[in-house]
Structure 1
Amino acid sequence: MYNASIKTEIINNIIFEMSGYVDNMTLDIMQKVIEKQLVAVNMEEITNLPAEIRTSTEEQNRYYISLMMIKKKNLRPETKAQYRDAIMRLTSVIEKPLNKMDEIDIDSYLDWYEKRNVAAGGKKNQASTCNNERRYLSAFFTWMRKEKFMSYNPVEATEPMKEVIKPIDYFRPAQIEQLREGCVSLRDRAIIEVLRSTGARVGEIPQINIDHVDWATGDIMIMSEKSYKYRLLYLDEVARYHLRKYLDSRTDDNEALFVWDKAPYNRLKKSGIRNAMKEVGKNMDCKVYPHKLRKTLGVNLKDKGTDIGIIQEVMGHANPTVTSRYYAQISPEAMRDVRRRTA
């Protein structure tokens, strides 16, 4: 165990120090070369190991955080940012080395996190928000344990907060019509119809190119944003009509499905899609966001009697419990319909 842990520490230190000079691909190659060279080396024979240079708590914590960001290369940038921000908040409240944290520290921090806005006149964070923070911390400390910086994950000893499952926020048919009326441009209408029909995550839309669309079937093959698996999106006839109308109006030569509405007509990112929908919401005087259209598709599928497994495939949920949790509940419209038929 000693032999392996020293080898791991040396590899980690080299990767950490070199991360500022070479790209991730080179780091991967470097790590494999070092591991290969260290296979036959008995680290117990080394009597004069380099002195520990990261002596302060701040330096130690910076090392752990940076090393995770380097080594967890398969994580999405947004996920990395969530982990990093949560850990940095933790270290700003609990001023001790991360590898010395225990469940009491985590409990104390999560209690602070729940009430962090109260002193400024705000409200407590919701249970779901606190549980998300707890999940980010747990992911980090699980990595710390696997890297042998700690013997256990202190977050596992803390209990998640009990969440109140709220009714799904989705658009009713009349609201969809209002949403359409709130569109002032062909692009906005096309965005609304594509999100409504496909139920895609907002982060999955920017990757789509015009030639990815099968206009005969309405199929679009994409790489799922979360599971990194290919899945099929479907554009119904209404969505295809308004998307084609938008594309025919464009004068640029960008291959992207959606672009800026002004020169230089760059590919529209998810922040641009959100902003476009906010503008539509202002015209309607209500809150409009991409995920609400995604949830609308899920509810519509459920109300039409679609099997929960099919809904999981359409929505691209890697975990079936996510689908069951959100779409097992019956919508008010479906409930009223059942009551009318059984009265």
Structure 2
Amino acid sequence: MGREIYDIINDMAEVLNASQMQKLQEVLVKRLSENTVSDYLQTTNMDFLDMFLTAKHLEGCSDKTIRYYRCNIEKMLDTINIPVIKITTEMLRKYLVEYQTINNCGKVTIDNIRRSLSTFFSWLEEEDYIIKSPMKRIHKVKTGVIVKDTIPDEKIEILRDNCNNLRDRAMIDFLLSTGIRVGELVRLNIDDIDFSERECVVYGKGDKERKAYFDA
């Protein structure tokens, strides 16, 4: 957005509510564009998405996370199909409700999508492309806490018995002992393991480093 437009709306923030500010923003963009076509007006929704994903990549998000962001945000933009500057809270609420109904998905899935959209619109706000994120009034979806069952001893022995070599057996025992993720085990190197102290350095989501411990 042109700096002038942003400054005008920012000056009016104390006397206008959110919907009035959004309307003012739309009018300013429309009127000023009659004489001046800014870079902002030429930026498409996909351009904004690409810029957002580039920013997230620089922040250290994994390729899997980047793909997840792209999938969720692209679907929303294709469905609502208007410039991001005009997307409202009501439109996003309707989108999430209809998405849940059409895809018959659970609350956890919808809340994950909500978080992706919230991150995208918060970035647009931080970068001064929009005045206020329309996701701010869409709160976390309440979900029940699911306690996962532990693996019975019988199944653990079946896993061990079906290992064809010592390496596979070591991997199964290591996962059981440390509780680390399979993806974290794949990234593990011998140099990351201290056998004398029975600990290892694990690189988790977002390349966050932590220590995990294993038994004899």
User: Under TM normalisation by the shorter chain, which class is it?
Assistant: 0.7 to 0.9
What SS class does the counterpart of residue 96 from structure 2 fall into? Answer: helix
Q: For residues 158-188 of structure 1, what are the alpha-carbon distances to aligned partners after superposition, in whole Å with 9 as ceiling and x for unaligned?
A: 2443312223232133332232223333333
The answer to whether the aligner puts 1:232 opposite 2:211 as a matched pair is yes
Rounded Cα–Cα distance in structure 1 between residues aligned with 2:150 and 2:190: 28
- The aligned residue for residue 94 of structure 2 is 108
Q: List aligned pairs for 1:1-343, cutoff 5 A.
A: 2=3, 51-52=38-39, 55=42, 60-72=44-56, 73-74=58-59, 75-117=61-103, 124-226=104-206, 228=208, 230-237=209-216
How many aligned positions are there? 186
Rounded Cα–Cα distance in structure 2 between residues aligned with 1:145 and 1:53: 14
Rounded Cα–Cα distance in structure 2 between residues aligned with 1:3 and 1:195: 57
Q: For residues 233-282 of structure 1, what are the alpha-carbon distances to aligned partners after superposition, in whole Å with 9 as ceiling and x for unaligned?
A: 22322xxxxxxxxxxxxxxxxxxxxxxxxxxxxxxxxxxxxxxxxxxxxx
* Structure 2 stretches lacking a partner, 5+ long: 8-34
Change (3 A) 1:61 1:169: farther
What SS class does the counterpart of residue 212 from structure 2 fall into? Answer: strand
Query: Is this contact kept in 2: 1:201–1:225, CA < 8 A?
Result: no
1:98 Cα offset (Å):
1.8
1:100 Cα offset (Å):
1.7
Query: Is this contact kept in 1: 2:118–2:135, CA < 8 A?
Result: yes
1:211 Cα offset (Å):
2.7
Query: Is this contact kept in 1: 2:6–2:131, CA < 8 A?
Result: no
Change (3 A) 1:190 1:99: farther
1:213 Cα offset (Å):
2.0
Change (3 A) 1:49 1:187: farther
Rounded Cα–Cα distance in structure 2 between residues aligned with 1:180 and 1:131: 37
Rounded Cα–Cα distance in structure 2 between residues aligned with 1:216 and 1:65: 48
Q: For residues 81-106 of structure 1, what are the alpha-carbon distances to aligned partners after superposition, in whole Å with 9 as ceiling and x for unaligned?
A: 21111110101211111222111111
Letter in 2 for 1:88: E
Change (3 A) 1:214 1:63: same
1:125 Cα offset (Å):
0.2
What SS class does the counterpart of residue 157 from structure 1 fall into? Answer: coil
Change (3 A) 1:222 1:175: same
Rounded Cα–Cα distance in structure 2 between residues aligned with 1:52 and 1:226: 33
Rounded Cα–Cα distance in structure 2 between residues aligned with 1:155 and 1:211: 44
Q: For residues 291-341 of structure 1, what are the alpha-carbon distances to aligned partners after superposition, in whole Å with 9 as ceiling and x for unaligned?
A: xxxxxxxxxxxxxxxxxxxxxxxxxxxxxxxxxxxxxxxxxxxxxxxxxxx
Query: Is this contact kept in 2: 1:203–1:225, CA < 8 A?
Result: no
Higher relative contact order (CA 8 A, sep 6+): 2
1:77 Cα offset (Å):
1.9
- What's the TM-score, normalizing by structure 2? 0.75
What SS class does the counterpart of residue 52 from structure 2 fall into? Answer: helix
Letter in 2 for 1:62: M
Query: Is this contact kept in 1: 2:110–2:141, CA < 8 A?
Result: yes
Rounded Cα–Cα distance in structure 1 between residues aligned with 2:195 and 2:40: 61
Letter in 1 for 2:77: T
Rounded Cα–Cα distance in structure 1 between residues aligned with 2:84 and 2:40: 17
